Amino acid sequence: MSRIHLNRDRQSLGQFTPEEVAEGLRSGRFLPTDLAWREGMDTWQPLSTFTDLPEPGEIEPPTLAPGTPLSEIEKAPLSPAWERTEGGVVGRAVETVREVLLSTQTAFAGMPVTGGFTRPLLFLILLGTICGLVSLGYSFAFEQMGTKSEAARQINPAFMPVLYGIVAVCMPLFILIGSFISSGLMHLSLMLVGGKSKSFEATYRVVCYVSGATYVLLLLPFCGGLIQLVWNIYALTIGFREVHGTTTGKALLAVLLPIFVCCGLGLLGMMFAVAIPAINQGMK
């Protein structure tokens, strides 16, 4: 039996087996009034009309008449491509990067806002680790050629390979922790600017897909980091706008607010670092 696509308030919930749908109805995860479609149907129908589900239990009468055409809901596949079950891992990863970078609005307009943290997190860790290791390789190569940053000059040269090795091994863990910290800050920003309409999970999904896709830009030497930063801000803005149903201005403000705060704290710390020695000198 084909999988069932579910939609609530014009937001895709994903695609599920009949057994998963029946269990979801019993647990309250799915509602009888959720719209459903599977291959062979002409239009979306309330879930209460699916009488062939295994032991569906008691279902309340639908608030939408069966057979009502819903032309505004397209029977398009889930997006980004990583959310789909068809195709190989590499193919879905490449297609997701293309969708997020080049068709951002379409990618997030059909993204499920529920379904767990695992799938988007795996995408982020996969792309982030691969691209991060390549970027780390660039840094190591530049360091070997004598192009060192001020911080690198303060470290014993013999310890540099060990330091790079530690960073490489711990990179997936850094990405995991960073994903929740950045998503938490973004979600808080959305709340502060009045742009939040979905759960933290929805925000987290946007952050994972945008961050994972834009990590690919780090493969560009020299200017990759700057391009990645700009594209990340753009894609996050569009993603939050589409998923939370807010305005472009509020979405952009929510993206920039944590950056402004972190830059402000950094600048304040630098000012204190410069001022404290001068104060101490004046007191002598």
Q: What DSSP assignment string belongs to 59-102? A: -PPPSS-TT---TTS--PPPSSGGG-SSS-HHHHHHHHHHHHHH
On whether both 99 and 126 belong to a single domain, the answer is yes
Same domain, residue pair 22 and 160:
no
Of 203 and 111, more confident? 203
Q: Cα-Cα-Cα-Cα dihedral of 15, 213, 118, 187, to 10°?
A: -100
Instruction: Please identify, among 42, 75, 108, the residue that sits at the C-terminal boundary of a domain.
Output: 75
Torsion-angle region of 184 (φ positive above 0: left; ψ -120 to 50: alpha; else: beta) = alpha
Q: Does residue 139 sit in the same domain as residue 30?
A: no
10 found inside a domain: yes
- Tell whether 68 and 146 lie within a shared domain: no
Would 148 be classed as within a structural domain? yes
Q: What own/partner pairs with CB < 8 Å and gap ≥ 24 does 129-138 have?
A: 129/171, 129/172, 129/175, 131/215, 131/216, 131/218, 131/219, 132/171, 132/175, 132/215, 132/218, 133/168, 133/171, 134/218, 134/219, 135/218, 135/219, 135/224, 135/225, 136/164, 136/167, 136/168, 136/171, 138/221
Give the total residue count for the chain: 284
In a domain, 81, yes or no: no
278 is a domain residue: no
Helical (H) or strand (E) element with 35: strand 35-37
- Count of structural domains, the chain: 2
Are 244 and 134 in a shared domain? yes
pLDDT digits (tens, 9 = 90+) for 44-53: 888 888 888 8
For residue 234, give its domain range.
Answer: 91-273
The predicted model gives 100-110 an average pLDDT of 88
CB 179 within 8 A of CB 211: yes
Report pLDDT digits (tens) over 178-228.
Answer: 999 999 999 999 999 999 989 999 999 999 999 999 999 999 888 888 999
Q: Are residues 173 and 218 in the same domain?
A: yes
Which alpha helices (H) appear in the chain, and where do they start and end? 18-27, 89-102, 104-109, 118-144, 150-153, 160-192, 200-214, 224-244, 248-283
What average pLDDT does the chain have?
Answer: 82
Q: Which amino acid is at 151?
A: A
Residue 29 resides in a domain: yes
Residue range 230-253, pLDDT digits in tens: 999 999 999 999 899 889 999 999
Mean pLDDT of the region 129-136: 90
